[in-house]
Amino acid sequence: MSEFLSDDAFEKFRDLIYNESGIHFSSSNRTILESRLKERLRSSGLPDALTYYSTISADSDELKILLDSVTTNLTRFFRNTAHFETFEYFVIPHLIKAKRNRGENKLRIWSAGCSTGEEPYTIAMVANELLPAGMQLEVIASDISLKSLMVGKQGFYGENRIGGVPEHYLKRYFSRTGNGYRINDDIKSLVRFDYHNFKHDSGLRGMDVVFCRNVLIYFDEAAQKAAIGRFWDAMAPQAFLFIGHSESLFGMQTRFEFLKTDWACIYQKNTAGSSA
């Protein structure tokens, strides 16, 4: 037990954060939670953890700030090359063909847990390269971290964050500004950033692709299962799901079909079933 946070207080915060976001703190990462709480106490000028607990129980804005502060927002452009190869060589061509056959002209992709925007902008750039005339693209980028969403909306990235962007994309979709790069408006206008917490239904429907990568690792199995069920609801029949390469639906008894492509393994919504 630490002086700052009793075992009882740790459990209260742990349960609240879990119930509100699905993010699970085990006793082995308790020190991370303690350090984030100390930061919040310093900023809010409150005397101790239990007073802070009463505050967040009554103040939903401060609760959002706490949830933001316990998220891990690590990301980068073109993260996991094999995923973007699968997207470029398999998913997008497949969807374009299927849309054409059905006389549809819009592709809708959800970057769920988009952090600071590198993932949805990568999706938009790669898809934009392949879109035939007349086919529209909308990328919905959502996260629980308001700070990260603001960075994404600005679309400005320092030089040290641009490393994974292939030269061709850098030239075509970014403008050099000061000590970094700005995403050009043609790509920016394809991406819509929105606050959304996986604990709730997104209200999205008919998504052709969902990317939810490197998010589920912070959840326990029950929260993972609930989030996966919500993705199922948001997806169109036969839509594709990308999860992080260290994440798996194995043993979760979902109706998603495991798809092994030449580049990476992804999942597809198998509409033979009616729920995830």
Ligand X SMILES: C[S@@+](CC[C@H](N)C(=O)[O-])C[C@H]1O[C@@H](n2cnc3c(N)ncnc32)[C@H](O)[C@@H]1O
The SS3 call for residue 156 is strand
Question: Which stretches within the chain are classed as H helix?
Answer: 7-21, 30-44, 49-58, 60-69, 81-86, 92-102, 118-130, 146-154, 167-173, 185-188, 221-234
Q: Nearer Cβ to ligand X, position 46 or 63? A: 63
Residues that bind ligand X (CB under 6 A): 21-23, 71-75, 79, 113, 115, 119, 143-145, 148, 196-199, 213-215, 218
Q: Nearer Cβ to ligand X, position 132 or 207? A: 207
Q: Nearer Cβ to ligand X, position 143 or 208? A: 143
Contact between 134 and 105 (Cβ < 8 Å): yes
Q: Which residues are catalytic?
A: 36, 143
Compute the distance between CA of residue 220 and CA of residue 17 in angstroms, rounded to an integer.
12
Q: Smallest distance, Å, CB 242 to ligand X?
A: 9
Q: Smallest distance, Å, CB 222 to ligand X?
A: 13
- DSSP states along 17-49: HHHHH-B---GGGHHHHHHHHHHHHHHHT-SSH
The SS3 call for residue 114 is coil
Compute the distance between CA of residue 204 and CA of residue 192 in angstroms, rounded to an integer.
13
Q: Smallest distance, Å, CB 78 to ligand X?
A: 10
Q: Smallest distance, Å, CB 201 to ligand X?
A: 12
Q: Nearer Cβ to ligand X, position 46 or 126? A: 126
